[in-house]
């Protein structure tokens, strides 16, 4: 009887337990074959893969590269370990609040947002798991990397000049007044003689503004002979050249231009930044910040990997 029972037991099929393959161990975290399959599904859904962890690669290039996929998952596990170590995990209430805010920012209801996600093949629960991870990663990145990045205006200017080598980083802005002598009144020679006579009075100490009132032949004359404020390149080149070495309050000799003869006084001068650079500055700083973040993240991950226990079974 006993031998019959033993024979029956031996002939009965044994149901084997399927053990899932472990691809890697990262500290106390394991990367399973199912994690790889989950990542492969995520790659088909927009926005469900963190570009910062791709090391400059595209999601498309990741799709056919099992080794790169495993590296991506190891980096995720390194980050998860740090989130736990630094106690940066967020509650489900925080995730729900962020989900509501996201709907509000996009001017849709939560139900409409869920419908949009569903049309992209993403369930609301799946997205909230991703959102929780995203919030935690952002807190970690802010603390470990972003808070330490410094991009100055000079950094942005250097980058701007690389792309625009002929640009001037700064521009002189000057205010001028003049006493004008019109060559059409009599002859050019006569106009020049009138200019010489007024210049002699000026050098004898008479007021520029008073002489301008008395002798300037500018048809658009304003008080004191003021012409206004100009940036380099906006005014008569002969006058710009003549005032280039002056200090504020000093005057030129007789300057000939295509209009006639001038005695010019520099009434004000300051250096202003190139307006084209000013317009592009914040965009350039944003680009530099992003590039710097990617470099620092790569170094941070390398350091964490060296500090951690990582074993790959592939």
Q: What is the pLDDT of residues 210-249, one digit of tens each?
A: 999 999 999 988 888 999 898 888 888 999 999 988 999 9
Distance CA 314, CA 200 (A): 93
The alpha-helical segments, DSSP class H, found in the chain are 2-11, 33-42, 59-63, 66-85, 92-105, 110-119, 124-144, 153-163, 188-203, 208-215, 237-243, 275-307
Q: Is 285 helix (H, G, I), strand (E, B) or coil?
A: helix
- The DSSP-derived string for 129-169 is HHHHHHHHHHHHHHHHTGGG----HHHHHHHHHHH-TT--S
**Any domain includes 16:** no
Distance CA 157, CA 266 (A): 29
pLDDT average, residue stretch 65-93? 94
Same structural domain for residues 92 and 200?
Answer: no
Go through 8-18 and write b for each residue having 16 or more CB atoms within 10 A of its CB, e for each that does not: eeeeeeeeeee
**Any domain includes 139:** yes
- Per-residue confidence (pLDDT) for residue 10, from 0 to 100: 44
User: pLDDT band for position 266 (50/70/90)?
Assistant: very high
267 and 209 in contact (C-beta within 8 Å)? no
- Per-residue confidence (pLDDT) for residue 11, from 0 to 100: 46
266 and 176 in contact (C-beta within 8 Å)? yes
Question: Quick one: tokens of 24?
Answer: 């890697």
**Any domain includes 143:** yes
186: β partners: none
Same structural domain for residues 28 and 141?
Answer: yes
Q: What are phi and psi of 96, to 5 degrees?
A: -60, -40
**Any domain includes 162:** no
254 and 261 in contact (C-beta within 8 Å)? yes
Domain count, the chain: 2
Query: Please, what is the average pLDDT of the chain?
Result: 89
Same structural domain for residues 190 and 222?
Answer: yes
Does residue 150 surpass a pLDDT of 80?
yes
**Any domain includes 158:** no
Distance CA 273, CA 275 (A): 6
**Any domain includes 253:** yes
- Per-residue confidence (pLDDT) for residue 7, from 0 to 100: 44
User: pLDDT band for position 272 (50/70/90)?
Assistant: confident
Does residue 6 surpass a pLDDT of 50?
no
CATH number for the domain spanning 189: value is: 3.10.50.40
Does residue 116 surpass a pLDDT of 50?
yes
Does residue 84 surpass a pLDDT of 90?
yes
- Per-residue confidence (pLDDT) for residue 9, from 0 to 100: 40
User: Measured on CA atoms in the order 148, 152, 154, 160, is the torsion positive or negative?
Assistant: positive
List CB contacts of 201: < 8 A, sequence separation 6 or more: 211
User: pLDDT band for position 12 (50/70/90)?
Assistant: very low
CATH number for the domain spanning 145: value is: 1.10.4030.10
pLDDT average, residue stretch 143-165? 91
43 compared with 10, residue with greater pLDDT? 43
User: pLDDT band for position 165 (50/70/90)?
Assistant: confident
Q: Count CB-CB contacts under 10 A for residue 305.
A: 15
Domain that holds residue 233: 170-273
Same structural domain for residues 203 and 262?
Answer: yes
pTM over cut 0.85: no
- Per-residue confidence (pLDDT) for residue 17, from 0 to 100: 53
Does residue 4 surpass a pLDDT of 50?
no
Same structural domain for residues 50 and 142?
Answer: yes
């Amino acid at each position: 009887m006993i031998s019959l029972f033993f024979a029956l037991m031996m002939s009965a099929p044994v149901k084997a337990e399927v053990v899932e393959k472990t691809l890697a161990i990262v500290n106390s975290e394991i990367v399973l074959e199912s994690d790889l399959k989950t990542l492969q599904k995520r790659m088909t859904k927009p926005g469900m893969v963190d570009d910062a962890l791709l090391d400059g690669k595209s999601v498309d290039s990741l799709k056919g590269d099992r080794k790169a996929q495993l590296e991506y998952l190891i980096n995720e596990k390194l980050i998860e370990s740090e989130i736990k170590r630094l106690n940066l995990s967020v509650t489900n209430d925080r995730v729900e609040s962020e989900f509501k805010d996201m709907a509000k920012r996009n001017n849709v209801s939560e139900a409409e947002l869920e419908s949009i996600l569903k049309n992209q093949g993403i369930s609301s629960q799946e997205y909230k798991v991703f959102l929780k991870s995203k919030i935690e990663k952002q807190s970690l990145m802010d603390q470990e990397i972003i808070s330490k990045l410094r991009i100055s205006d000079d950094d942005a200017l250097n980058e701007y000049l690389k792309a625009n080598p002929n640009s001037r980083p700064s521009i002189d802005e000057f205010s001028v007044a003049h006493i004008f002598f019109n060559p059409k009144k009599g002859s050019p020679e006569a106009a020049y003689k009138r200019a010489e006579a007024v210049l002699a009075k000026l050098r004898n100490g008479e007021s520029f503004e008073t002489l301008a009132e008395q002798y300037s032949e500018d048809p658009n004359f304003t008080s004191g002979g003021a012409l206004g404020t100009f940036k380099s390149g906006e005014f008569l080149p002969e006058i710009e050249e003549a005032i280039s070495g002056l200090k504020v309050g000093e005057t030129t000799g007789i300057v000939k231009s295509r209009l006639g003869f001038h005695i010019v006084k520099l009434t004000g001068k300051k250096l202003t930044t190139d307006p084209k650079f000013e317009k592009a500055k914040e965009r350039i700083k944003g680009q530099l910040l992003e590039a710097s973040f990617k470099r620092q993240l790569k170094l941070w991950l390398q350091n964490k990997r060296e500090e951690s226990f990582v074993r790959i079974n592939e």
